[in-house]
Structure 1
Amino acid sequence: MKSVTRSLRILEAVAQHQPVTVGELTKLFGLPKSTVQRTLVTLNEAGWLRANRKDTTRWEIGARVLAVRPAALQGSSLFAAAREPMIRLRDAVNETIHLSVPDALQCMVVVDRVDCTHAVRTFHAIGDTSPLHATATGRAVLAHLPQADVEELLERGLERFNEDTPTDAEQLRAELRKVRADGYSVNRNQYRPDVCAVAAAILDEAGTPLATVAVSMPDSRYDATRLPELGRLVAETAQEIAGRRDGA
């Protein structure tokens, strides 16, 4: 149990002081450097921690923490601002609506969902993660990030999930330009088969993407002629959430 307690204390310390080095944690806890390093590696392998992308000698919170935090998020201004607009959007289109937040350039994390009434519908578990380049939610965020961040993602390589996944750098850049022009992003089977979505970014006052709201549906109900309507509704919902959050 001592090792579990130590791991939790180190996890809490990283959350408080991130990005933090092994040396800083060693001084904080008075533990051998090897013990701290071993704990960090274990937490990294489990997804709780990750190396900072700009300075790999420093550690920060990873995607797994985001995946288990939705209950805590319920008291946040974002969650509170998003809930009612998401319900109204669901009522307008009768498709699944989900709220996702970015974990840096690592992934998108689903933090809330409002289900539709269809017997056949898409399902996104709270805490589900997905890649930025292959999803509507991810590209809605990427379209509003600095170009340097986009290029960093491209340098890592774009994983192919099926034949429709955008894996060419210029193809992705073109899609992001379209997202900025349209105000919303579209995914048709580019990540999960038979799953489509239309998403828009929720921006803060400086234009930084905090989250996304998306309409998700099976491919059998995807109708390209409805895209302008769905895109408008999703974009308006994102703007309403941003406004409600700013006024909170």
Structure 2
Amino acid sequence: MTEMKSVIRSLQILEAVAQHQPVTVGELTKMFGLPKSTVQRTLVTLNQAGWLRASRGDTTRWEVGARVLAVRPAALQGASLFAAAREPMLRLREALNETIHLTVLDGVHCMVVVDRVDCDHAVRTFHRIGDTSPLHATAAGRAVLAHLSRAEVDEVIARGLKRFGDTTITDPDVLRADLGEVRRQGYAVNINQFRPGVCAVAAPILDEDGTPLAALAVSMPDSRLDVDQLPELGRQVAEASEEITSRRLA
């Protein structure tokens, strides 16, 4: 019974953060009439599980993490991002017959897969809904990172650029140069930088003020990547992302 009460309390606090975000521990304490230590402990637990995060604007306040989107109910399928993205994702899959992913930014910590359209190849890439990936080592992450502020890029670099493979970008200067190229060409490329044998091309989905909300990516085994076709592949992904942005803002 005690464990059940704890679960219910955690869900109630999660709902309160979603409704009032960004919100402080003190504000939540007043809402629930609970000891500050109990609320703080619950917030830390939900943060460790990926459901909550410190606000990017004020780290004393809490907001929901992008992982919440990974377990959205069917009713949320009509939400603006998902509704805007679905048809362009399906058309891109039909054109390329490779797996298409929609990922969203979780703070400046990682990208979270929130939707996927599979190809029909027997050998294909696969990411579960809710899977996370680093910003610096993936095409989706760098597509978004290229449109974040210099301070946010510096924050990512300060946390360390972990090496996942021989081609992972781990030098801050190389990363900054790469992000400039991503902004110029409109898409990012990942060739075995995160997972061995997996390649991807991604483009950002932007808000009306240019803030990156998400990324659209096509991924495939490296055996099917034709590097000579990267500019054309990047163009197709970028055009689909631009369509999603336009549909969402319409």
Q: TM-score, normalised by structure 1?
A: 0.94
- Secondary structure of the equivalent of 2:218? strand
Question: 1: CA distance between counterparts of 2:77 and 2:235?
Answer: 27
Letter in 1 for 2:225: Y
Alignment partner, residue 221 of structure 1: 224
CA contact (8 A) 1:70 1:126 kept: no
Q: CA deviation at 1:117?
A: 1.6
Kindly tell me: are residues 69 and 194 of structure 1, through their superposed partners in 2, closer, same or farther at Cα, counting changes over 3 Å?
Answer: same
Moved more, 200-209 or 40-49: 40-49
Question: 1: CA distance between counterparts of 2:245 and 2:205?
Answer: 6
- After superposition, residues 156-167 of structure 1 pair within 5 angstroms as 156-167=159-170
Question: Which one of the candidate residues 135, 140, 146 is aligned to 1:137?
Answer: 140
Alignment partner, residue 211 of structure 2: 208
Kindly tell me: are residues 154 and 81 of structure 1, through their superposed partners in 2, closer, same or farther at Cα, counting changes over 3 Å?
Answer: same
Q: CA deviation at 1:18?
A: 2.0
CA contact (8 A) 2:67 2:106 kept: no
Question: Which one of the candidate residues 104, 125, 128 is aligned to 1:125?
Answer: 128
Question: Which one of the candidate residues 23, 29, 35 is aligned to 2:38?
Answer: 35
CA contact (8 A) 1:70 1:112 kept: no
Question: Which one of the candidate residues 8, 13, 23 is aligned to 2:11?
Answer: 8
- Secondary structure of the equivalent of 1:125? coil
Question: 1: CA distance between counterparts of 2:208 and 2:59?
Answer: 30
Q: CA deviation at 1:44?
A: 2.4
Q: CA deviation at 1:91?
A: 1.2
Question: Which one of the candidate residues 58, 79, 90 is aligned to 2:93?
Answer: 90
- After superposition, residues 151-190 of structure 1 pair within 5 angstroms as 151-190=154-193
CA contact (8 A) 2:104 2:112 kept: yes
Gap runs ≥5 in structure 1: none
Question: 1: CA distance between counterparts of 2:142 and 2:114?
Answer: 17
Letter in 2 for 1:221: R
Question: 1: CA distance between counterparts of 2:146 and 2:49?
Answer: 30
Alignment partner, residue 245 of structure 1: 248
Question: 2: CA distance between counterparts of 1:6 and 1:206?
Answer: 37
Kindly tell me: are residues 162 and 234 of structure 1, through their superposed partners in 2, closer, same or farther at Cα, counting changes over 3 Å?
Answer: same
- Secondary structure of the equivalent of 1:99? strand
Letter in 2 for 1:61: V
Q: TM-score, normalised by structure 2?
A: 0.93
Pairing 1:22–2:22 present: no
RMSD: 1.6
Question: 1: CA distance between counterparts of 2:231 and 2:55?
Answer: 39
Q: CA deviation at 1:162?
A: 1.6
Question: 2: CA distance between counterparts of 1:67 and 1:11?
Answer: 15
Q: How many residues align?
A: 247
Moved more, 211-220 or 201-210: 201-210
- Secondary structure of the equivalent of 2:127? coil
Gap runs ≥5 in structure 2: none
Letter in 1 for 2:111: M
Question: 1: CA distance between counterparts of 2:74 and 2:110?
Answer: 19
CA contact (8 A) 1:95 1:115 kept: yes
Alignment identity in percent? Answer: 76
Alignment partner, residue 105 of structure 1: 108
Q: CA deviation at 1:53?
A: 4.5
Question: 1: CA distance between counterparts of 2:141 and 2:108?
Answer: 9
